[in-house]
Amino acid sequence: MEQRENRQEEVLVKPGKKKNRLPGILLSLVLLAAAAAGFLYADDFRLAVEPRGEMEMLVPSGRQYEDPGADVVLYDRWLFPYGLILTEVPVEMRSDMNSKVLGKYSVSYSAQAFGLSATAQRSLRVVDTASPVLTLISSGKTILPGRPYEEEGYIAVDNFDGNLTDQVKRTVGLDTITYTVMDSSGNPTTAERKIPYFDPLPPDLILEGEQTLTVPCGSVYTDPGYTATDNADGDMTEAVAVDGQVLWYQPGTYELVYTVADAFGNVSQKVRTVTVEAQSRPEVNWPKGKVIYLTFDDGPGPYTGWLLDILRKYGVKATFFVTDSGYDAMMTRIVKEGHSIGIHTMTHDYDTIYASEEAFFNDLVGMQDVIYRNTGVKTTLMRFPGGGSNVVSRYNEGIMTRLSQAVQDAGFQYFDWNVDSNDAGGALRAKTVAANVIGGADTHRVSVVLQHDIHAYSVEAVEDIIVWGLNNGYKFLPLKSDSPTMQHTVLN
């Protein structure tokens, strides 16, 4: 702010034309003649001071005021009814005006002649009529295509208010920025800047495949993909953010939100809806007659070839719930020789696979893949590590209740057993294993037998079991997805 001292200013008189400019000598002669003629009566004369120009004048603040001046006029009813300007009579002027302070002032005029005196007054108003000066700064920097415009700066200065830069309003339009500012007297100023680079176009975001998808539960969801191309930034596919997740092992409807923004800030967004559909559960078909389903977990291993030789010798088909044990060629042989193959687990590590549904399903489909690569069979038969009634998963409460539902929604069928050879427990000799299996099978029309082909003594017991079974009217069958499951009561 400027310093505003309250001081009076000298009032300059504008040199102007004066009407009826009579030479002083002539005036004097006229006055003398009038006096001599006895016309001079004091009450007939009137002296007046008459300001020239408007009686109220606006003075732009900070500007030197020039007064148009005033005339001294003598009136007489008979002699000068329209007034006689006394050019020789000085007018005294006084003013309280301060052009740096807005407000009302006045100029007073006074004059004396012939023993008469007169005064007059003119109003002055100091106003601010000048708009602020708005200057846009140009840095000269090149604005790159696709980069948002960075303000280069601006300055607003007002004759009266001083620096008004921080009161400038900035409006960003499509391709123009408009700057406006107003001084304290309401005088506005507007300036415009064309934005050197403007990108009104958002990236073109394209979803490959359908925007609404239905996928079967239990198959790992693979997004069909997307592309994003921007007019300025080019290929932006890498910059696309995908929000959301498809729980491919849990039936439900999921939303995936794809978002990408170009450097100018234009955003494109697309949504894909993925429905994970529960698979229908296979109905169990009970076989006719007396049936034994031999099942072997945890292999293949070093004794699996021997076991396959025994089975082949009797033309008996069994079921192998396999692990990722590295005996890949043995998996191939299992399938080639007509046996059923099912998923047991990749790792058989209870702490890993029962940590979460996601962990379990990753292990499950991982093993499904290994089997598929070695056999060409995409099996949906499975057996839970530890069985459906395991308590080793109790560190994750309720996981077996959830998984036993989930695997079937995902199109898998899980099998437990109703005859345990106990070859993973106390039975460490072939005779004991055989006795356990025969003893169990003898009490059931249909048996699903649990054995492990990673134990030599268990494989050794198989021949006795087969011979007993065939001699007692049993058929040995491989498990199919509609075979009896002998599912245990879930304990977690």
- The catalytic site residues sit at 297, 452
DSSP 289: S
Q: Please state the closest distance from residue 204 (CB atom) to Zn ion, in A.
A: 52
Binding mask 247-286 for Zn ion (x = CB under 5 A): ----------------------------------------
Q: Which 295-314 positions form the footprint of Zn ion (CB under 5 A)? A: 297-298
What is the size of the binding site for Zn ion (CB under 5 A)?
2
Single out the segment in contact with Zn ion by CB under 5 A; choices: 138-146, 275-283, 291-299, 411-419: 291-299
Task: Count other C-beta atoms under 10 Å from residue 433's C-beta.
Answer: 25
Please report how close the Cβ of residue 459 comes to Zn ion at its closest, in angstroms.
16
Strand 66-67 to strand 12-13: parallel, antiparallel, or no bridges (unpaired)?
Answer: parallel
Q: Which stretch binds Zn ion (CB under 5 A): 20-28, 72-80, 206-214, 293-301?
A: 293-301
Nearer to Zn ion, 298 or 460 (CB): 298
**Binders of Zn ion among 161-220, rule CB under 5 A?**
none
Q: Which residue has the tokens 């296979």?
A: 282
**Of residues 152, 157, 160, the one with CA closest to residue 181:** 157
> Which of 398, 400, 393, 451 minimizes the C-alpha distance to 427?
451
Contact 11, 67 (CB under 8 A): yes
- 3-state SS, 116-153, equals EEEEEEEEEEEECCCCCEEEECCCCCCCCCCCCCCCCC
Residue number with CB closer to Zn ion (297 or 324)? 297
d(CA 368, CA 407): 13
Work out how close the CB of 414 gets to Zn ion at its nearest, in angstroms, rounded to a whole number. Answer: 13
Residue nearest to Zn ion (CB): 297
- Closer CB to Zn ion, 201 or 392, in the complex: 392
CB of 380 to Zn ion, least distance (A): 18
Cβ of residue 426: shortest distance to Zn ion, in angstroms?
17
Q: In what order do the strands lie in the sheet with 80-85?
A: 45-51, 70-76, 80-85
Q: Roughly what angle, to the nearest 10 degrees, separates helices 304-314 and 328-336?
A: 10
Q: How far is the CB of 323 from Zn ion (least distance, A)?
A: 7
- Checking 431-434 for CB contacts under 8 A at 24+ apart, the result is 431/461, 433/457, 433/458, 433/460, 433/461, 434/461, 434/464, 434/465, 434/468
DSSP, res 197: S
Piece of 136-144, 206-214, 289-297, 411-419 that binds Zn ion (CB under 5 A):
289-297
Q: Assess 324 for contact with Zn ion (CB under 5 A).
A: no
Tokens of 77: 């009813």
In this complex, which beta carbon is closest to Zn ion, that of residue 51 or of residue 387? 387
Residue with Cβ nearer Zn ion (317 or 383): 383
Between 297 and 423, CB nearer to Zn ion: 297
In the complex, which residues of this chain contact Zn ion (CB under 5 A)? 297-298
